[in-house]
Structure 1
Amino acid sequence: MTGMSAALRRRFARFNAAAGLLVTIVALLLAPASPASAHAVLSSSSPAASTVVPSAPAEVVLTFSEPVRKVPDKIRVIAPDGSRADRGEPTFANSVVNIPVDTSAGNGTYLVTYRVISADSHPVSGAFTYSVGAASAPPVDTGNDSRADPVVSTAIKVAKFVGYAGLLLVVGPALVLALLWPRRLSRRGPARLAWTGLGLVALATIAVTLLQVPYTNGGGPFDITGEGLSLTLGSAFGAAHLVRLGLLAAAVFLLRPLLAGSVGRADLVILGVLAGAALLTWPLAGHPAASPAPAVSVVVDAVHLGSMAVWLGGLVMLAVFLLPRADERELGAILPIWSRWAALAVSALLLAGVVQALIEVATPAALVSTQYGRLVLAKIGLFAAVIAVAAYSRYLVRKRIAASRPAPVRRAILAELAITAIVLGVSAVLVQTPPARTASADVAALDGGSFSTRVNSSLYSLEIEVTPAERGNNSVHFYAYTLDNRPQPVVEWKATVALPSAGIEPIDVPLLPLTPNHATGEITLPAAGEWEMRVTARTTEIDQATVTATVPIR
């Protein structure tokens, strides 16, 4: 009777797991297709930026370099008197956005601001002006901040780090308990660790999905609206996260007997399929799905993530449970097998990482000229340190020192885990950073590179962007923040650039305020060299401060 009950429980668990897998497959089939390309760039507009047209257009047309999705109430046309000139909802047709405009708003300069979602789930924002009849003082859009809230951006990175940590905490115990765990040892500790890991993955998945709403809207962490959530869940990004939650729910039914030590071979196969499908949801919700070779990038990223989970999860099991509890005979049997597994996982991790970097970085120069490239270099450096420590651990295993004296191996493993915790943090930032290939595409579209820096005064912190950082016509953007990193409204902007080495005296930069903390301008820098930029921002009627920055122009 007991055997019959156990068999029925196994069949019931398989049925529920299969049902969960079927539901997620259907969800994938019904999910909207996500186009494969780089970060969206505004290719053209009608009317064109900075032009004067004789009569008011009935609509403004934006054309992007790839299909984009809308963000509620984040595409606006501001009339010369500061009122809203856009009428009704803009229409999206692949890469073209049509904005109906009131033709009776009068002559003068109009401001167009936009915020849309590109194929890799990141928001893209910008602004430009056009004039009807004759130019006038440009208006200001006070309700459309073009930057994501820094609290939201940081929270997403933290949530993704928690998700990665949870993944290795569930994979490590499941793998070791299924194939390497000594029968005499209690399974309670590893089982608790696995359930904790599963809970962390689920919690991180829900948190990232909810935070995607204010991240795309440009709001604070609690600015989650029903419309915004509906748009997020209806995207490929949202579908991937819902599928992950469904796969986690299906895996629960098979993970329970595995952790208890009563799982069958068929259950392990189904659980492996569920795990593989779940791994694919990470790249399907990020940069790999929008790469030039999406099929390759998605598979490679899943292999990269799975290898990381096997390696680090196994190290956690060794450091926390096996080395302190197993005897010399058990360690003598376990450690050589684990050493081979770790070598395979590290090899797959390294190979997948190289392929991934080649696709996402695109050019050697982008390794040092983009934030994404520099993060990749940091990850490579940390990974090299981990490999060195892992090689030492493998040496101890080969010399059969580990079984008789596990303390040195445990110290080496703890060092590996400490370094790889930093690697996971870098990875969490990396997946929120536009790929270097995206920066390269933007640079190609603008025929030049870009320069950005952040300088501080006693009143505010100022982010300065110059694009392209080459001789010729240049765009400058200034973003003012309080010293605790919140948007700082600016009453008046003034900026000059000079090149003393070439005898060029300070040149005024004409500035257009786009939002209370953001101004932009166009200027021609005629010579290469180290240009001196001085920016004065007046934050109240009496408070102002000036900052300086050196801008290298090629």
Structure 2
Amino acid sequence: MTLRLRTTLVLVAAAGTLVLPAAAWAHAGLVRTVPRANVVLDRPPPTVQLTYTEAVEPRFAAISVTNAAGEQQTAGSPRSSAADPKTLVVPVKRVAEGWYLVYWRVISVDGHPVRGAFEFAVGPNPGPQPQFVIPSISETAATPRLIAVRSVVFVAIMAAIGLFVLRIATARPVVRRVPESRLRPLDIAFGIASLVGLIAIPIYLLMATAQFALRSAFDLEILSVTGALAGAAAVLVVPGLSGHAAQTSPRGAMLLFDWLHLSAGSIWVGGLIGLLVLWRSFPVARRVAGLVVCVPRFSNTAFVSVLVLIGSGIGASLIHLPTFASLWQTSYGQALLVKIGLLSAAMLLAAGNLLRTRPRLIAYRERPELAPGAASLLRRLVAGEVLLVVSAVVAAAVLSSLPPPSKALAQVGGASAHVGPGPVAAVVDKNGYRAELRVSPNRAAAQNTFSLDITRDGKPVTGAEVVIGATMLDMEMGTQSYALTETSPGVYMHAAPALVMVGHWGLSFDVTPKSGAPFSVLLVDRANG
């Protein structure tokens, strides 16, 4: 086996480890609980079971079961189910009749914290629901340190992939056509980028896991578990690195868009970096000749990559963003706008290279006096492109640290009122009914009382079925539904920890009168801590 063949095989193997799908980086989502939320059980449950979309590390999971007095009712630590690794099980003491709050908090394999809460009761006479208090923990994956390390991961891995493609698909003819030229600098650049990426991945996992497990990064348990995660995640980079693609429906289309987007971006940014490496490595006397071979070939590849980048980005955005206004109304959309702006500026520089530099280099043999200026212009424009594209990758790191907006945002155009922060009191007339809605104290991570007074022609509407649904609008968390109880004629109330985190909530009051057509009242609420 020749040295060149061995080198090529090593490069292929290394690049292969960097492009395998990474569904394992997805955020954990709760899909099932035992007991179910708001259920009234005949007998105490021996355990509480939570099933997620992916396996989570039980040592960094927090599951509490508390009674009305705030007393802990768990009888041990969470553990993974022997039958299903995606299910966490926590033993529960033999509890008395009454209501109980289950609060859970887990860490996804990409370091993102996910949490939630629900209630259940033990009957037959559990009584009214008490005023539970949900633990409040400030947490975000969009911290400067985590974004910085995540950006390094993105840039290094994308650069490695692009350098590899440039090395095997674009720059190989240079060795045959240009004397004294070598591709070893590209091999070195690829090796450095790969090494940086594969080192940065476990560092990111270590920092994120330590932050959200509320422990030191030098905790031996953190180090041991993160080491195992990194060993699996080091070869699971793109697509799905941000985790959003693997969690968004339709999952297949999103993974395809994600893979195309990251692959196209990698070929572009890595190729640009490779051109700068070649520009510096070519002997001065052979620089123009080398660029004449490489630049036209790379321009064709980059042009296709940019088209794929645009198309896949539009496709992913149409799926991720429920409304056009989400672009400026949500943090996710605002980060996306920054990324689009940076890429647009980079594309303008790329157009300059395509329309000015490339033709001058192609005309090198007929008009050699144009070549030195074209080579100098190429270096400046490519350096500018690299700066802008790398900045866009940093914006992508921020973007992947933020949850996409909830699909429920598509419905808020029909909201009867926008309320909050603070106690809510709104009056809505609908279908001949007058509904007076109240939410108090309207605080996140706390027990809130939801009430609805319904009248028709000035008379209370009794015997109706009223259900409130609370949907987080800033991210996909599902809808928590609660039945309101008629406490006096036409007055329906329920107390529940429905607003489990700070942000915008869609509160839907669905009313089914004893006689008459059902109707709904939707409020867009802002809950603060």
TM range (shorter): 0.5 to 0.7
**Could you tell me which residue of structure 1 aligns to residue 152 of structure 2?**
162
Q: Residue 14 and residue 42 in structure 1: after superposition, are their counterparts in 2 closer, same or farther (change >3 A)? A: closer
Instruction: State how 1:315-394 maps to structure 2 within 5 Å.
Output: 315-319=272-276, 321-322=278-279, 325=284, 326-361=286-321, 364=324, 366-394=326-354
CA distance, structure 1, for counterparts of residue 37 and residue 156 of structure 2: 49
CA distance, structure 1, for counterparts of residue 154 and residue 295 of structure 2: 25
> 2:29 aligned to 25, 40, 56, which one?
40
Q: CA RMSD in A?
A: 5.0
The 3-state SS of whatever aligns with 1:283 is coil
CA apart distance, 1:308: 1.8
CA distance, structure 1, for counterparts of residue 201 and residue 504 of structure 2: 42
CA distance, structure 1, for counterparts of residue 73 and residue 240 of structure 2: 40
Instruction: State how 1:72-87 maps to structure 2 within 5 Å.
Output: 72=59, 73-87=61-75
Instruction: Name whichever structure is richer in helix by fraction.
Output: 1
Q: Does structure 1 residue 243 correspond to structure 2 residue 235?
A: yes
Deviates more, 1:165-174 or 1:342-351: 165-174
Aligned partner letter, 2:339:
K
CA distance, structure 1, for counterparts of residue 147 and residue 106 of structure 2: 21
The 3-state SS of whatever aligns with 2:349 is helix
Aligned partner letter, 1:316:
I
Instruction: State how 1:281-292 maps to structure 2 within 5 Å.
Output: 281-283=238-240, 286-292=243-249
Aligned 8 A contact 1:90 1:100 in 2:
no
**Could you tell me which residue of structure 1 aligns to residue 100 of structure 2?**
110
Deviates more, 1:375-384 or 1:193-202: 375-384
Normalised to the residue count of structure 1, the TM-score between the two structures is 0.60
CA distance, structure 1, for counterparts of residue 451 and residue 206 of structure 2: 43
**Could you tell me which residue of structure 2 aligns to residue 433 of structure 1?**
402
Q: Residue 87 and residue 337 in structure 1: after superposition, are their counterparts in 2 closer, same or farther (change >3 A)? A: same
Q: Residue 120 and residue 294 in structure 1: after superposition, are their counterparts in 2 closer, same or farther (change >3 A)? A: farther
**Could you tell me which residue of structure 2 aligns to residue 57 of structure 1?**
44
CA distance, structure 1, for counterparts of residue 101 and residue 347 of structure 2: 54
Instruction: State how 1:374-523 maps to structure 2 within 5 Å.
Output: 374-400=334-360, 403-405=371-373, 406-436=375-405, 439-440=406-407, 470=415, 495-497=422-424, 509-510=440-441, 518-523=445-450
Aligned 8 A contact 1:59 1:98 in 2:
no
Question: Aligned residues, how many?
Answer: 429
Q: Residue 473 and residue 218 in structure 1: after superposition, are their counterparts in 2 closer, same or farther (change >3 A)? A: farther
Q: Does structure 1 residue 307 correspond to structure 2 residue 264?
A: yes
CA distance, structure 2, for counterparts of residue 18 and residue 413 of structure 1: 26
**Could you tell me which residue of structure 2 aligns to residue 208 of structure 1?**
204
CA apart distance, 1:8: 6.2
Aligned 8 A contact 1:472 1:525 in 2:
no
Unaligned regions of 5+ residues in structure 2, if any? 362-369, 430-434, 455-502, 507-522, 525-529
The 3-state SS of whatever aligns with 2:265 is helix
Post-superposition CA distance 1:445-471 (Å, at most 9, x none): xxx659xxxxxxxxxxxxxxxxxx955
CA apart distance, 1:108: 5.9
CA apart distance, 1:110: 3.5
Identity rate, percent? 22
Q: Residue 497 and residue 359 in structure 1: after superposition, are their counterparts in 2 closer, same or farther (change >3 A)? A: closer
CA apart distance, 1:125: 0.6
The 3-state SS of whatever aligns with 2:44 is coil
**Could you tell me which residue of structure 1 aligns to residue 214 of structure 2?**
219
Q: Residue 332 and residue 501 in structure 1: after superposition, are their counterparts in 2 closer, same or farther (change >3 A)? A: same
CA distance, structure 1, for counterparts of residue 9 and residue 297 of structure 2: 33
Post-superposition CA distance 1:390-436 (Å, at most 9, x none): 11111113441773313333322222222212210111122222234
Aligned 8 A contact 2:112 2:141 in 1:
no
The 3-state SS of whatever aligns with 2:240 is helix
> 2:116 aligned to 113, 116, 126, which one?
126
Aligned 8 A contact 1:163 1:204 in 2:
yes
CA distance, structure 2, for counterparts of residue 65 and residue 242 of structure 1: 23
Normalised to the residue count of structure 2, the TM-score between the two structures is 0.63
CA apart distance, 1:115: 1.7
CA distance, structure 1, for counterparts of residue 5 and residue 505 of structure 2: 67
> 2:189 aligned to 179, 186, 193, which one?
193
**Could you tell me which residue of structure 1 aligns to residue 464 of structure 2?**
none
Q: Residue 416 and residue 54 in structure 1: after superposition, are their counterparts in 2 closer, same or farther (change >3 A)? A: closer
Q: Residue 166 and residue 121 in structure 1: after superposition, are their counterparts in 2 closer, same or farther (change >3 A)? A: closer
CA apart distance, 1:163: 1.8
**Could you tell me which residue of structure 1 aligns to residue 470 of structure 2?**
none
CA apart distance, 1:233: 3.9
CA distance, structure 1, for counterparts of residue 356 and residue 255 of structure 2: 36
Aligned 8 A contact 1:336 1:397 in 2:
no
Aligned 8 A contact 1:498 1:506 in 2:
yes
Aligned partner letter, 2:91:
P
Q: Residue 110 and residue 372 in structure 1: after superposition, are their counterparts in 2 closer, same or farther (change >3 A)? A: same
Q: Residue 220 and residue 392 in structure 1: after superposition, are their counterparts in 2 closer, same or farther (change >3 A)? A: farther
Q: Residue 374 and residue 428 in structure 1: after superposition, are their counterparts in 2 closer, same or farther (change >3 A)? A: same
